[in-house]
Structure 1
Amino acid sequence: MSTAFLLTTLVVVVTPGTGVMYTLATGLAHGRRASVLAALGCTLGIVPHLTATITGLAALLHTSVIAFETVKYLGVGYLLFMAWAMLRDKEAPSVVGEQPRPAARVIASGVLSNLLNPKLTMFFVAFLPQFVSVGAPGALGVMLRLSAVFMALTFVVFAAYGCCAAAVRDRVLARPGVMTGIRRVFAVCFVGLSARLALA
């Protein structure tokens, strides 16, 4: 496995995007456990993109404008929904007596945040072939191993982001006005990400 692959993957994963924003928001609102589950969901959201790349479905997205635009605008809609959900949530979270958010719901939201991101499929199409000799024996195995590394780094980095957010959660919760401001910042970030995706 090349150093170039690891470095490029790390840069891509560390750069804030939809998954990072979702994991940070979850860590602040629901704590460390939920942030790790959010990271897991975002990581699992990579699997459909990997499957599409391996089976050739990504070629359809690459060549069909209608298919690509459909997936893209579904992603835009979901990001706008997340922004609206942030602004709609007026309740101040409380550590005392708090009911943990259902794990399945946290993971499902994480999966959706990456599932509706066609740029992730394009990343696999443009990035992985540079490190895999397609015609060589065992090319599929190499692609799966590289993808596993990508997913592992995604989980570790996202979980670290989320745990850092959860670590300052108590201080944030002690100031309801700060939490309101943070929600607005995340909402603006989601709107910005949706605009960037729409214009891509």
Structure 2
Amino acid sequence: MPLDPQLFLAFLVAAWVLILTPGPDMLFVIGQTLAGGASRGWAALLGIGTGALVHIALAASGVAALVAASPALFEALRLAGACYLLWLAFGALRAAWRGGATLRPAAPARAAFRDGFITNLTNPKVILFFLAFLPQFVDPARAPAWLQMLLLGPLVPLMGVPAYGLLIAGANRAAARLSTFSRWLDGLAGLIFLALGLRLLVGGRPG
């Protein structure tokens, strides 16, 4: 068996704690669900998960370590991710200001997938997370570290599906009940994206 059973059990417990702890991904999925319904929420979650898989592959291959060690590249990714989130916030807030019909029919799920993928992929803190988190549960005596990281890493987004499913369902029900206030839902989604963008913009590099 390439994984240590005790380390694997510890990984599952730690992963659940991380999944259930509110964070940027959770807020992003809520914002997308409020703005476009459950289909956009699921699409955003799929985009985030796909971005996470790319980060996991980069961490396992050692590329992520090179990115983390390059201040210029790290900053470029951080600024790109922040600007993209701020652009999403601008679009949602503009829709709220204009009012009118809800955005739900007009915003395809593929846009939410794209947004989730790009915001996750351009968040350098996700790189640091997988670089710091996965190696703690790797036993070099069992199998190559890259193989163990590729086996463990995808479990994080997969384990989050049930929890995020409940979150999406709840946000979608709330949005459906407030459908007559669609401009306020757009505004709330815009504020969520704005907060995430500013958090990434001013957060800087973790110490």
**TM-score in terms of structure 1 length:** 0.84
1:89 to 1:16, Cα distance in 2 relative to 1, 3 A = farther
- 1:195 Cα offset (Å): 3.7
Identity of aligned residues (%): 27
Q: 1:158 to 1:55 in 2, by over 3 A?
A: same
1:123 aligns with 2:126: no
**The one of 17, 20, 36 aligned to 1:11:** 17
Paired residues for 1:1-200 under 5 Å: 2-90=8-96, 91-94=99-102, 99=105, 101-134=107-140, 136-137=142-143, 139-176=145-182, 178-179=184-185, 182-183=188-189, 185-198=191-204, 200=206
CA distance in 2, matches of 1:70, 1:76: 10
Q: Distance in 2 between matches of 1:89 and 1:57?
A: 39
Measure how far apart 1:109 and its partner are. Answer: 0.9
Aligned residues: 198
Contact 1:76 1:197 in 2 (8 A): no
Partner Cα separation in structure 1 for residue 21 and residue 202 of structure 2? 15
| Cα deviation 1:29-73 (Å, max 9, x = unaligned) | 221222111111111110221111111111112222112111122
- Which letter does structure 1 place at the counterpart of 2:17? V
TM-score (normalizing by structure 2): 0.81
Do 2:26 and 2:164's aligned partners in 1 also have CA atoms closer than 8 Å?
A: yes
Q: How far apart are residue 181 of structure 1 and its match?
A: 5.2
**Stretches (4+) displaced over 6 A:** none
Inter-CA distance 81–27: structure 2 relative to 1 (3 Å threshold): same
Distance 1:36 1:127 in 2: 25
